[in-house]
Chains A and B, each alone.
Chain A
Amino acid sequence: MTSNTAVISVRDLVVGFGETPVLDHATLDVFEGEILGFVGGSGAGKSVLMRTIIGLLPKRNGSIEVFGTDLAAVTDDERRAIERRWGVLFQQGALFSSLTALQNVQFPIREYLKLSPRLIEEIALAKLEMVGLNADVRGKFPSELSGGMVKRVALARALALDPDIVFLDEPTSGLDPIGAAEFDELIRTLQRTLGLSVFMVTHDLDSLHTVCDRIAVLSEGRIIAAGPIGTMLASEHPWLKSYFRGKRGRLVHH
Chain B
Amino acid sequence: MTAAGLGAQGTSASLVATFDGKGVGLVATGAWIAERAAELEKIVDDAAARYQTARSIDIDLARLDRLDTFGAWLIERLNRAFVARGAATRIIGLSDSDRGLMDEVRLVNRTAGRDTAAANQILVALDAIGRAVAEIGASLALLAHLLGALTMAVLGTIAHPARLRLTSLVHHLERVGWRAVPIVALSTFLIGAIIAQQGIFHFRTFGAEVYVVDMVGILVLREVGVLIVCVMVAGRSGSAYTAELGSMKMREEIDALRTMGFDPVEVLVLPRIVALVVAVPLLTFIGSMAALYGAGLVCWLYGGMTPDIFLARLREAIWLPTFAVGMIKAPFMALVIGLVACVEGFEVDGSAASLGLKTTSSVVKSIFLVIVLDGFFAMFFAAIGM
Report A's interface with B, CB cutoff 8 A: 5, 7, 32-33, 67-69, 78, 81-82, 97-98, 109, 112-116, 119, 122-123, 125-127, 129-130, 134-136, 138, 141-144, 159, 161-162, 164, 189, 192-197
Asked whether any CB of chain A lies closer than 8 Å to the CB of B101, the reply is yes
List 11 other contacts, CB 8 Å, given A7-B4, A113-B37. A113-B35, A113-B38, A114-B38, A116-B38, A122-B109, A126-B73, A136-B113, A141-B350, A142-B351, A162-B70, A195-B1
Is A5 a contact of B4 with CB atoms below 8 Å?
yes
Complex: how many Å from CA A114 to CA B350? 32
Q: Which B61-106 residues have C-beta < 8 A from chain A? A: 68-70, 73-74, 77, 97, 100-101, 103-105
Q: Does B33 touch A at the CB level, under 8 Å?
A: yes
B73–A98 touching, CB < 8 Å? no
Interface centre among A82, A112, A194 (most CB of B within 10 A): A194
Size category of the B interface is 20 to 34
For this complex, 30 residue pairs linking A to B, each with C-beta atoms less than 8 Å apart, are A7-B4, A67-B4, A67-B6, A69-B6, A82-B6, A98-B351, A98-B352, A112-B34, A113-B38, A115-B37, A115-B38, A119-B70, A119-B74, A123-B73, A125-B108, A126-B109, A130-B69, A130-B104, A130-B108, A142-B350, A143-B350, A144-B350, A162-B68, A162-B69, A164-B4, A192-B100, A194-B68, A194-B101, A195-B2, A196-B2
Q: Determine whether the beta carbon of B111 is less than 8 Å from that of A135.
A: yes
Judge whether B320 is part of the interface by a CB distance below 8 angstroms: no
Closest to A32 in B: B4
| A220–B352 CA distance with the chains assembled, in angstroms | 37
Q: Are B2 and A33 in touch, CB under 8 angstroms?
A: yes
* A115 and B100 form a contact (CB under 8 A): no
Q: Are A143 and B2 in contact (CB under 8 A)?
A: no
A98–B353 CB distance below 8 A? yes
Q: B33, A162: Cβ atoms under 8 Å?
A: yes
How far is the CB of B100 from the nearest CB of chain A, in Å?
A: 4
B interface residues with partner A (beta carbon < 8 Å): 1-2, 4-7, 33-35, 37-38, 41, 68-70, 73-74, 77, 97, 100-101, 103-105, 107-109, 111, 113, 349-353
- CB-based contact B73/A193 at 8 Å: no
A142 contacts which chain B residues (CB < 8 A)? 350-351
Q: Decide yes or no: A97 and B353 within 8 Å by CB, A68-B4, A113-B34, A195-B97 being known contacts.
A: yes
- The 6 A-B pairs at the shortest CB distance, nearest first, are namely A143-B350, A97-B351, A98-B353, A162-B68, A193-B100, A126-B108
Known contacts A97-B350, A97-B351; decide if A123 and B2 are in contact (CB<8 Å): no
Cα–Cα, bound, A142→B37 (Å): 28
Question: Which residue from B4, B6, B37 sits with its C-beta under 8 Å from A78?
Answer: B6
Query: A5-B4, A123-B70, A164-B2 in contact; A143/B351 too (CB < 8 A)?
Result: yes
A158 to chain B, nearest CB (A): 13
B366 CB to nearest A CB, Å: 24
Q: Which residues of A contact B103 (CB under 8 A)?
A: 193
CA distance A56 to B128 in the complex (A): 43
Query: Contact: B69 with A126, CB < 8 Å?
Result: yes
Contact B34 A116 (CB under 8 A): no
Interchain nearest-CB distance for B319 vs A (Å):
55
Q: How far is the CB of A246 from chain B (nearest CB, A)?
A: 31
Closest chain B residue to A130 by CB distance?
B104
Rounded to whole Å, the gap between the CB of B353 and the closest CB of chain A is 4
Choose among B34, B109, B353 the residue that contacts A129 (Cβ–Cβ < 8 A): B109
- Within 8 Å CB of B350, what residues of A? 97, 141-144
* Smallest beta-carbon distance A224→chain B, Å: 27
**Identity of the chain A residue whose Cβ is nearest the Cβ of B101 in the assembled complex:** A193
Asked whether, in the complex, the Cβ of B4 is within 8 Å of the Cβ of A81, the reply is no
Contacting residues, chain B, for A116 (C-beta < 8 A) = 38, 41
Nearest Cβ on chain B to A105's Cβ, whole angstroms? 12
Cα distance A173–B294 in the bound complex, in angstroms? 61
Given contacts A113-B38, A115-B38, A143-B350, contact A135 B2 (CB under 8 A): no
Q: Is the CB of B109 within 8 A of A125?
A: yes
| Other-chain residue from B33, B108, B349 in contact with A143 (beta carbon distance below 8 A) | B349
* A161/B351 contact (C-beta < 8 A), A122-B77, A127-B69 known: no
How far, in whole Å, are A78 and B7 apart by their CA atoms in the complex? 8
Smallest beta-carbon distance B249→chain A, Å? 12
Q: Which of B70, B103, B107 has the most CB of A within 10 A?
A: B70
Smallest CB–CB gap between A97 and chain B, Å?
4
